[in-house]
């Protein structure tokens, strides 16, 4: 914080208010210092407005769709992104089948088996999503 001229003016009055022996002098200097500090607050303190929170879609400048697309691109090369994509599919099945995450992961259904067993990840993902789509149509969701 930089020193303002009004701070320099207020310091002597604060010292007088602290060390003066007369009661009236203390109160008078305290009132003058208070007025000076009020002027500092009113004219020299910038008012910071709270910025609105960013929505989930605007986080890091990407929408949910763009994040999933970048995750799928990474899944072509790495195992961590593949497990994240698989976890997303398991999350969908959690909602559809009213089962727990661990239960679905331990006993995978047809779509997850196709995804795990395919050599080419993108082709396996496409087939798994087709199976998922058919199952959703059967449940009429």
| pTM (two decimals) | 0.52
> Are 73 and 31 part of one and the same domain?
no
The per-residue pLDDT for range 17-76, each reduced to its tens digit, is: 777 778 888 888 878 878 877 877 777 655 566 666 665 555 566 777 788 888 888 888
Maximum CA extent, the chain: 91
Q: Which residue has the tokens 């449940």?
A: 139
> Are 79 and 124 part of one and the same domain?
yes
The count of domains in the chain is 2
Parent domain of 112: 59-139
User: Alpha helix (H) ranges present in the chain?
Assistant: 5-19, 23-44, 64-75, 79-97, 101-106, 110-117, 121-139
> Are 109 and 78 part of one and the same domain?
yes
Do the domain assignments include residue 53? no
Q: Angle at CA 11, nearest 5°, toward 6 and 12?
A: 115
Do the domain assignments include residue 51? no
> Are 14 and 67 part of one and the same domain?
no
Token pair recorded at residue 124: 């396996």
């Amino acid at each position: 914080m930089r020193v303002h001229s009004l701070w320099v003016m207020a310091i002597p009055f604060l010292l007088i208010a602290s060390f003066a022996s007369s009661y009236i002098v203390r109160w008078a200097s305290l009132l003058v210092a208070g007025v000076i500090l009020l002027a500092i607050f009113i004219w020299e303190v910038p008012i910071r407005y709270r910025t609105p929170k960013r929505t989930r879609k605007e986080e890091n400048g990407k929408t949910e769709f763009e994040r999933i697309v970048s995750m799928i691109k990474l899944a072509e090369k790495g195992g961590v992104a593949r497990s994240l994509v698989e976890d997303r599919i398991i999350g969908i099945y959690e909602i559809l089948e009213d089962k727990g995450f661990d239960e679905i992961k331990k006993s995978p259904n047809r779509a997850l088996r196709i995804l795990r067993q395919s050599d080419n990840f993108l082709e396996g993902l496409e087939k798994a999503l087709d199976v998922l789509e058919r199952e959703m149509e059967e449940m009429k969701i």
